[in-house]
Structure 1
Amino acid sequence: MGINIFVIGLDEENQRVLERLPWAGSYEFHGLLTPEELQHGDIDFEALLKTAQHELDAFDGDVGAIASYWDFPAATLVPILCARYDLPSVSLEAVLKCEHKYWSRLEQRKVIDELPGFGIVDLDGERPSPPAGVGFPMWLKPAKSFSSELVFKAENEAEFADAVAEIRDGVGRVGEPFGYVLDQVQLPPEIADVGGAACLAEEALHGVRAAVEGYVYRGEVIVYGALDSVNYPDSSSFLRHQYPSQLGEEPVRRMWDVAERVMRQLGFDNGTFSIEFFCDPESGQVALLEINPRHSQSHAELFEFVDGVANHEIMVRLGLGQDPGRRATKGRYQIAGKWYLRRFSDGVVTRVPTPAEVAAVEERVDGTQITIVPEAGQRLSDLPEQDSYSFELAQLFIAAHTEHEMAEKYQACVDALPFEFE
């Protein structure tokens, strides 16, 4: 038997990724809470914590590590549970400084200038207004949310009012349990005043989307990869994430520099992170969008295709208190992307590609893995964790030797995947 590693929110796809790690035979991976328990419906953080602790206490064996690649509540459960079982982990306070978007901005402002104007919107006011110094166009978002849920762009006062109404109605689902976790640490007055169910307004950033992934081990910040995020034309919805970044050397270097300064300021140590940016390819300027206190499981196969080893490896090694060391760079492909096939209007799905049809496409188009999101008979607006402007039909991992070849493979897959709606 190998060392027992518990992964909060472990699902079948990521179980397979973990079991493909070169040294996976030395470990036993166990799920702790399901993705559905963590993300769907109301979130009872205390109940989740008790359930997780009960499962760990009942386990017949030693617990070697506790880790996760999900945001709240998983990212905050990890340091709490690790502290109780005396296991290596990032601190809860550092995680919260990343996850609370307003707190994170206040900390970032102490060490970098690459920030938009931002401020808190008073959701309790009779007629909420934009914060002082934040102009249109702006983005409105909960201080803590899942993915792009309840994230809206406002070009004017009317759109601002509509977005605030939507956020006010839905912010409590995540904000209230997030507030419970905030109460577990000593908060600065400005964060204690706004709490977890707050609304942040930020001036819209411009440029192309990109991200870096890295980790901190014993105070040393290591960035091991840069990725691009490409939107659908004239949309804020992602078309794909691709690794490695196709931006020039200068914006990538600047992202690395910003990441190092910010993670040190946050006191983040012994954990993985992913930081999103807007970049200007011509000037090389970068602007930080947000910090995630975990690596991205959405990128796991991308690193596996290009480097030969998924980024999950770093999560596991840090969970065991080990130095992750140098990354492998010997994958089968030169570039890989996670593509999103989307529909931009609601409807009921009357037909999805069958497993046989999906398997035939994967066999015919080399370097592809396809996951169908909705089921036949499902209304798209009932799908969980969708952004505010589109609905996912499929997720496609596609690897190639050039960006052009990868795009051609994507189109070949889409042409062969039959969906029908009414």
Structure 2
Amino acid sequence: MDARNVFVVGLNAFNRERLEHLRGASEYRFHGVIEPEAVYDTEIFPIEAMLNQATAQLDAFAGRIDAIVGYMDFPVSTMLPLLCERYATPTASLESLLKCEHKYWSRLTQREVIGNYIPRFTAFDPFDDSALSRIGEAGLYFPFFVKPIKSSGSRLGFRIDSPEDFGAAIARLREDIGLISEPFNFILEQANLPDAVRAVDGGFCMAEEIIGGWQCTVEGYVFQGEVVPYGIVDSIRYPQVLSFFYYRYPSRLPTHIQDKMRELTTTIMTHIGYDNAAFNVEFFWDEVQNRIWLLEINTRISQSHCDLFEKVDGVSHQQVSVDLALGQRPDMPTAEGAYEVAGKFFYRVFFVDAVVTRVPSVQEIDALQQRFPGCVIALQVGLGTRLSTLPEQDSYSFALAHIWMGADSDEALLADYTALAESLTFEFEEVIG
């Protein structure tokens, strides 16, 4: 049998290395579609041009197109249904995907079946000078959280504790929301939307009741209508701030809470009609009130979790995406990896802005990776990088490095990261004015 051709949007070296280790990979040929820089290192998303480029590349391929996959959030996630429909490869429908990714439509859909597990919410136009009053009329009062109808990562998300906070957030939203709203509106134009959803386009924002607690992500997939949650990853934040410290797999949540999250996941994904694709659902468990909240649904696996699954289960959960894209039930192992626990750490600084004047050398990184076997260090900055130009950052900090590590216990994992972090040396020059 000829090798099967799997096309990966934005394929880079980091993903290719893990793809080559998947079960059945010797029978596949992985091909890149669109250069990785176009989707990883930019906040500019000319999605119509990107679709045309991807189509031209795929049309020019002389062989059979067996699967098309991607691991990025917007714009890659929203491109896949359009590309897969054109080339008759399996994935979720565009409408079911948008019921997850359009935050307002997603909340409306969630309210139909799991209303007790979502916060109060309303949509608003950030260019409406009376927006704050309209939010109050909808029953939301300080504090609350605002974010675009469609965002990528944690960008343009703000906690609002006062009218001054709201004014500052609105200024940022008005300045930057067009970077995503315009390309997202192009995607919306391709879909069959209810009138109530069509009226709330990518230029709108969400205001939501503050929810919180122990945050985690349920990774799962749907195959021929069967919802399968296969792993839960904890998301641990720095004390007193919204920025993530590290992701940990497997979860340490109580078993009955994990079971309830899997049940809620199955209920909502079935109701949405999402099928033949991977997803993940982010939850909070408020331990004090013993209440579970659904934060959001993402229509992809988390790239950040790939190395965690490889370390603990024996293979990256890219296995799930590739198998589904080929129309077959995922062959995902459990607990066959080299480690009991794994984490992805975010080495951050909490600056307003700065220019990087020193980063760890290649030799320093190699020495650390030898000192901590299995460790992967990926710098996110270089000499001369101005922190405020970094894409995919939250509103409160800058991630200088991503670090994946495995260990035999939670305590050993944290101890190893602490020792590694103390050996990483960055230097900065303050930005004046």
- Scaled by the length of structure 2, the TM-score of the pair is 0.95
Question: How do 1:218-367 and structure 2 match up within 5 A?
Answer: 218-281=224-287, 284-325=290-331, 327-345=333-351, 346-367=353-374
In the alignment, what sits opposite 1:85? 87
Shift of 1:265: 1.3
Shift of 1:165: 1.9
Shift of 1:295: 0.8
Letter in 2 for 1:6: F
In the alignment, what sits opposite 2:29? 28
Which of residues 372, 376, 400 in structure 1 aligns to 2:383? 376
- Answer yes or no: is the 8 Å Cα contact 2:43–2:391 preserved in 1: no
In the alignment, what sits opposite 2:61? 59
Structure 1: gaps spanning 5 or more residues: none
Letter in 1 for 2:122: G
Whether 1:420 and 2:421 are equivalent positions in the alignment is no
In the alignment, what sits opposite 1:105? 107
Letter in 1 for 2:339: Y
Judge which range, 177-186 or 335-344, deviates more.
Answer: 177-186
- Answer yes or no: is the 8 Å Cα contact 1:251–1:281 preserved in 2: no
- Answer yes or no: is the 8 Å Cα contact 1:224–1:327 preserved in 2: no
Shift of 1:329: 2.3
In the alignment, what sits opposite 1:153? 159
In the alignment, what sits opposite 1:174? 180
Identity of aligned residues (%): 44
Q: What is the alpha-carbon distance in structure 2 between the residues aligned to residue 420 and residue 378 of structure 1?
A: 11
- Answer yes or no: is the 8 Å Cα contact 2:323–2:331 preserved in 1: no
- Answer yes or no: is the 8 Å Cα contact 1:65–1:87 preserved in 2: yes
Task: Give secondary structure in 2 for the equivalent of 1:294.
Answer: coil
Shift of 1:20: 1.5
- Answer yes or no: is the 8 Å Cα contact 2:319–2:332 preserved in 1: no
Deviation sequence 1:42-92 (CA, Å, 0-9, x none): 322211111000000111211110011111211121111111111111111
1:145–1:29 distance in 2 versus 1, CA, 3 Å = same
Which of residues 114, 139, 142 in structure 1 aligns to 2:117? 114
Question: How do 1:68-79 and structure 2 match up within 5 A?
Answer: 68-79=70-81
Q: What is the alpha-carbon distance in structure 2 between the residues aligned to residue 54 and residue 400 of structure 1?
A: 45
Task: Give secondary structure in 1 for the equivalent of 2:347.
Answer: strand
Q: What is the alpha-carbon distance in structure 1 between the residues aligned to residue 339 and residue 349 of structure 2?
A: 29
1:8–1:326 distance in 2 versus 1, CA, 3 Å = closer
Q: What is the alpha-carbon distance in structure 1 between the residues aligned to residue 392 and residue 37 of structure 2?
A: 11
Shift of 1:194: 1.3
Whether 1:193 and 2:193 are equivalent positions in the alignment is no
Shift of 1:157: 1.6
Letter in 2 for 1:142: P
- Answer yes or no: is the 8 Å Cα contact 2:315–2:332 preserved in 1: no
Shift of 1:38: 2.8
Deviation sequence 1:9-54 (CA, Å, 0-9, x none): 1111011110121321111111111232235243222111110000
Shift of 1:269: 0.3
Judge which range, 311-320 or 382-391, deviates more.
Answer: 382-391
Whether 1:138 and 2:144 are equivalent positions in the alignment is yes
Which of residues 162, 172, 176 in structure 1 aligns to 2:168? 162
Shift of 1:214: 0.2
Shift of 1:412: 1.0
Deviation sequence 1:327-375 (CA, Å, 0-9, x none): 3321111100000000000211110001110010010112311111100
Q: What is the alpha-carbon distance in structure 1 between the residues aligned to residue 29 and residue 290 of structure 2?
A: 44
In the alignment, what sits opposite 1:410? 417
Q: What is the alpha-carbon distance in structure 1 between the residues aligned to residue 44 and residue 387 of structure 2?
A: 20
Structure 2: gaps spanning 5 or more residues: none
Q: What is the alpha-carbon distance in structure 2 between the residues aligned to residue 247 and residue 338 of structure 1?
A: 18
Q: What is the alpha-carbon distance in structure 2 between the residues aligned to residue 122 and residue 227 of structure 1?
A: 34
- Answer yes or no: is the 8 Å Cα contact 2:320–2:332 preserved in 1: no
RMSD: 1.3
- Scaled by the length of structure 1, the TM-score of the pair is 0.97
Q: What is the alpha-carbon distance in structure 2 between the residues aligned to residue 189 and residue 199 of structure 1?
A: 17
Whether 1:16 and 2:23 are equivalent positions in the alignment is no
